[in-house]
Structure 1
Amino acid sequence: MKIDLTDTTASKINKALVQGRRAIGSPAVGMVLTLVIVTDEENAYDALRAANDASREHPSRTLVVVKRVSRSPRDRTKSRLDAEVRVGADAGTGETVVLRLYGEVADHAQSVALPLLLPDAPVVVWWPVASPRDPAKDPLGALGQRRVTDSYSAVKPVDELRTRAENYEPGDTDLAWARITPWRSMLAAALDQVDCEVISAEVTGEEFNPSVELLAMWLADRLHVHVQRGVSAGPGLTLVRLETTGGPVALQRPDGAMATLTLEGQPDRVVALKRRETSELMAEELRRLDPDDTYASALRFGVDRLGGAQSTTDRSPLPTRTPASAVADSASRTSSAAATGNRPSPAQMPPAKGTAAK
């Protein structure tokens, strides 16, 4: 069911939501959070489709904030709020409100969104494109406990990582980080099968791909070893190779779908490691609403200790080596947490054994 409102107010939008729920025979509100999407008209459709797919796992009220730029100087002084209210099959498993802001009201989007938030429910703010430099201090970002950006959509993706590190606040996260969750889980599971120490690492993937840089930062942060950055044609990440005292450990994915895991003394194994859709990435991010300390540690380590995102290439190794079991033990702990229904994502790992947390 869709209800179009022109030159409306937040009060009228709330009434339309109640009217829509009654019309489809569902007066109760069974949603677990409010997802605020801040985007432009060009990217609104794709973002909303991803949010609707993610709502099958996390029923939510989705507010899509679209700031319309008036071409005429005279129109810029005219404030208007148009809304499209969707409930039922048109809104996934939750409710959707598309807000189009014109004129001066576009500068006060937080005042429009605030009355539409679900009471006593977490708020997640997502910028599919054009994220602010400091999401936590953005007026809309300040409404959320969790703030999701995507470095891959930036004009200079790798430079965006430095910006994210400089302005990081607990609750910030990046879809570029979610893209490497299967890689981190697979590498941790592989190291759980061998008793060795990691000597060095190599990460190969597309040039200027923030996910490749983040994986290199994570390995350097957790293992305290030299990480070499290689460049390939992609797609995305193509190879991670760990040199250990027990022989090489390699995870190679040349086609973006299937990967080959190689361990010394064991037959090669083909594993599914496909590139995931945005809806799957968002569903993962909505599973946890607490700060992602592992992401923060890897991001700050890569930028602060190694002098920038690009510096994971050709840097001298750090003085200490960490046993491979430090990463592997983390994986087993997270598997136990997932089995008991706790919030942490599968690759959220505690500090490595024998080293201080960064």
Structure 2
Amino acid sequence: MRIDLTDTTASKINKALVQGRRALGTPAVGMVLTMVIVTDEENAYDSMKAAQQASHEHPSRTLVVIKRHARNPRERHQSHLNAEVRVGADAGTGETVVLRLYGEVCDHADSVVLPLLLPDAPVVVWWPVDAPDVPAKDPLGALAQRRITDMYAVESPLATLEQRANSYAPGDTDLAWTRLTPWRSMLAAALDQARATVTSAAVESEAENPSAELLSRWLEARLGVRVERIVTGGPVVTGVRLGTEHGEITIDRPEGPLATLTLPGQPARTLALKVRSTSELIAEELRRLDADEMYCVALRGEPTEEGPFHD
């Protein structure tokens, strides 16, 4: 069910949500969080689709904020808010409100969003593109327990990575880091089996890949060795090599969903290591809303006192 509202207010949007739930015979609200997506028209559809798919695991109220900045000073004073309210099959397992802000109201998006947040529920803000320089100090970011950015969506990911390291605040995370979860798990399991001390390391990837840079910094911080960066032609991270006193531990994934794991003195094994969809990455982030300390470690490359892969 979809309800279109023109030149509206937060109060009218809340009434439309209640009206939509009653029309569908589901007046009870069973959602666990509010997801705020700050995006543009070009990326709005894909972002909403990813959030809708993630909502099957985490029922949520999704607020999509699209700022339609004025093209000239005269239009800037024509401030208003349009909204699409979606419930039922059009909104996954929760509710979706698409907010289009025009004119001066673009500068006060937090005031529009605040009355629409679910009471006593966590807030997550996701910027698929055009994230602020300091997410925690952004007016919308300040409302959230979790702030999700994506360094894959910027022109200079490594420069942005340095900026994120300098401005990190508890609650910040990035999908470039989330993409590494299967790699981290596989490396931890491989080292546990090998029971060997790592003396050297290398990470292979395409040039300027933020995930590979985060993985390198994380390995340096946890293993206490310098990690060599090797540029390859493959997509994303294509391989990790850890030198030990017993031989080399390698994970190779040049392309496709399968990787080859090689341990010293053991035959090579084929393991699943696919590139996950955006909805899968978002769903993972919504499972844990506390501070991601390992992301901070990877950003700053700071050595830790714990064992190699103790989280």
Q: 1:27 to 1:13 in 2, by over 3 A?
A: same
1:77 corresponding residue in structure 2: 77
Deviation at 1:298, TM superposition (A): 1.7
Deviation per CA, 1:1-36: give whole Å up to 9, x if none.
Answer: 000000000000000000000111110000000000
Deviation at 1:327, TM superposition (A): 3.2
Residue type at the aligned position of 2:221 = D
Instruction: Provide the rounded CA distance (Å) in 2 between the counterparts of 1:171 and 1:301.
Output: 18
1:179 corresponding residue in structure 2: 179
Answer yes or no: is 1:242 the counterpart of 2:223.
no
Deviation at 1:155, TM superposition (A): 1.1
1:199 corresponding residue in structure 2: 199
Answer yes or no: is 1:326 the counterpart of 2:307.
yes
**Mapping for residues 254-265 of structure 1, pairs under 5 Å:** 254-265=254-265
Residue type at the aligned position of 1:153 = A
Deviation at 1:214, TM superposition (A): 0.4
1:118 corresponding residue in structure 2: 118
Answer yes or no: is 1:141 the counterpart of 2:122.
no
The DSSP-based 3-state class of the residue aligned with 1:84 is strand
Instruction: Provide the rounded CA distance (Å) in 1 between the counterparts of 2:28 and 2:246.
Output: 58
Deviation at 1:163, TM superposition (A): 0.6
The DSSP-based 3-state class of the residue aligned with 1:239 is strand
Normalising by structure 1, report the TM-score.
0.85
1:343 corresponding residue in structure 2: none
Residue type at the aligned position of 1:57 = E
Instruction: Provide the rounded CA distance (Å) in 2 between the counterparts of 1:131 and 1:75.
Output: 25
1:106 corresponding residue in structure 2: 106
Instruction: Provide the rounded CA distance (Å) in 1 between the counterparts of 2:245 and 2:226.
Output: 15
2:95 corresponding residue in structure 1: 95
- Whether contact under 8 Å (1:191, 1:327) holds in the other structure is no
The sequence identity of aligned pairs, in percent, is: 68
Answer yes or no: is 1:5 the counterpart of 2:5.
yes
1:278 corresponding residue in structure 2: 278
Instruction: Provide the rounded CA distance (Å) in 2 between the counterparts of 1:132 and 1:146.
Output: 14
Normalising by structure 2, report the TM-score.
0.98
Deviation at 1:326, TM superposition (A): 3.0
Instruction: Provide the rounded CA distance (Å) in 2 between the counterparts of 1:75 and 1:262.
Output: 62
The DSSP-based 3-state class of the residue aligned with 1:286 is helix
Residue type at the aligned position of 1:99 = L
Deviation at 1:71, TM superposition (A): 2.1
Stretches of structure 1 lacking an aligned partner (at least 5 in a row): 306-319, 331-348, 350-358
Instruction: Provide the rounded CA distance (Å) in 2 between the counterparts of 1:118 and 1:136.
Output: 20
Deviation per CA, 1:249-289: give whole Å up to 9, x if none.
Answer: 00000114110000011110000000011000000000000
Answer yes or no: is 1:209 the counterpart of 2:190.
no
Deviation at 1:151, TM superposition (A): 0.8
Instruction: Provide the rounded CA distance (Å) in 1 between the counterparts of 2:234 and 2:140.
Output: 35
1:54 corresponding residue in structure 2: 54
- Whether contact under 8 Å (1:136, 1:172) holds in the other structure is yes
Residue type at the aligned position of 1:7 = D
1:19 corresponding residue in structure 2: 19
The DSSP-based 3-state class of the residue aligned with 1:327 is coil
Deviation at 1:192, TM superposition (A): 0.8
Residue type at the aligned position of 2:133 = R
- Whether contact under 8 Å (1:198, 1:242) holds in the other structure is yes
Instruction: Provide the rounded CA distance (Å) in 2 between the counterparts of 1:256 and 1:125.
Output: 31
Instruction: Provide the rounded CA distance (Å) in 1 between the counterparts of 2:96 and 2:193.
Output: 46
1:299 corresponding residue in structure 2: 299
2:163 corresponding residue in structure 1: 163
2:68 corresponding residue in structure 1: 68
Instruction: Provide the rounded CA distance (Å) in 2 between the counterparts of 1:31 and 1:282.
Output: 16
The DSSP-based 3-state class of the residue aligned with 1:86 is strand
The DSSP-based 3-state class of the residue aligned with 2:301 is helix
Instruction: Provide the rounded CA distance (Å) in 1 between the counterparts of 2:225 and 2:54.
Output: 37
Stretches of structure 2 lacking an aligned partner (at least 5 in a row): none
Deviation per CA, 1:218-246: give whole Å up to 9, x if none.
Answer: 00010000100000112111010000112
1:45 corresponding residue in structure 2: 45
